[in-house]
Amino acid sequence: AQTVTQSQPEMSVQEAETVTLSCTYDTSESDYYLFWYKQPPSRQMILVIRQEAYKQQNATENRFSVNFQKAAKSFSLKISDSQLGDAAMYFCAYSSPGGTSYGKLTFGQGTILTVHP
């Protein structure tokens, strides 16, 4: 079974600075998908970014980018120019392709990000 590990329970960053959240995963599959979800205090889960394992290029979405290291099974999230609205719990998630995986996500434990003004 796949596992996802977020080793940083909490992180903090100053407004306008850059922060990197770590995620590692364990899998024997060669093709899969990785996600970062954001959960602000409102509890709403919001997709931040998505990476397909067969794509070597790292995904980016505005101020959010990932560093995907397939051999190391690492998938970190970099937030540039941090804003107060970025304060949230961030979850890394893994999904297998097709077969009987049926959209199932395996989540990490989450990292609480605090942004200081």
Residues of this chain that interact with another protein (CB under 8 A) are 4, 6, 9, 32-33, 42-47, 50, 52, 91, 95-98, 101-105, 107-110
Kindly report the number of other CB atoms within 10 A of residue 35's CB atom. 21
Task: State which amino acid sits at residue 23.
Answer: C
Q: Which is nearer to another protein, 43 or 117 (by Cβ)?
A: 43
Q: Which is nearer to another protein, 44 or 62 (CB)?
A: 44
Smallest distance, another protein to C-beta of residue 26, A: 14
CB of 14 to another protein, least distance (A): 27
Cβ closest to another protein, residue 11 vs residue 105: 105
Which positions ≥6 away from 62 have C-beta within 8 Å? Answer: none
The distance of closest approach from Cβ of residue 64 to another protein in the complex, given in angstroms and rounded to an integer, is 15
Query: Does residue 22 contact residue 109 with C-beta atoms inside 8 Å?
Result: no
CA distance 101 to 105: 9
Q: How far apart are the C-alpha atoms of 116 and 69, rounded to whole Å? A: 29
Cβ nearer to another protein, comparing 55 with 116? 55
Q: In sequence order, what are the beta bridge partners of 88?
A: 113
User: Closest approach of Cβ 39 to another protein, in Å?
Assistant: 8
